Amino acid sequence: DRDTDNPTAHLTLSTADFKRMMFGLVSASDLKAEGRLMIDGNAQAFSELASFFVSFNPRFPIMTPRPSL
């Protein structure tokens, strides 16, 4: 359920900062230090959630060239 009256943690940050964090361009600790991320509740729960995201090479070739006919 996406809606709950008692969340484990509540994040407050801009959409742009969230995307930058998910892409690994900036860390949550850097955003917190800059005052651009606030975590209310169990910050460890957020760390556990973040550990599920896989880091990958963004230049990974999703499509391969077609062979010549």
Low-confidence ranges of the chain (pLDDT < 50): none
Instruction: Identify the pLDDT of residue 24.
Output: 83
pTM for the full predicted model: 0.66
Instruction: Identify the pLDDT of residue 61.
Output: 73
C-alpha dist (Å) from residue 2 to 7, 13, 20, 46, 56:
10, 18, 23, 15, 27
Instruction: Identify the pLDDT of residue 49.
Output: 81
Would you call 12 helix, strand, or coil by DSSP?
strand
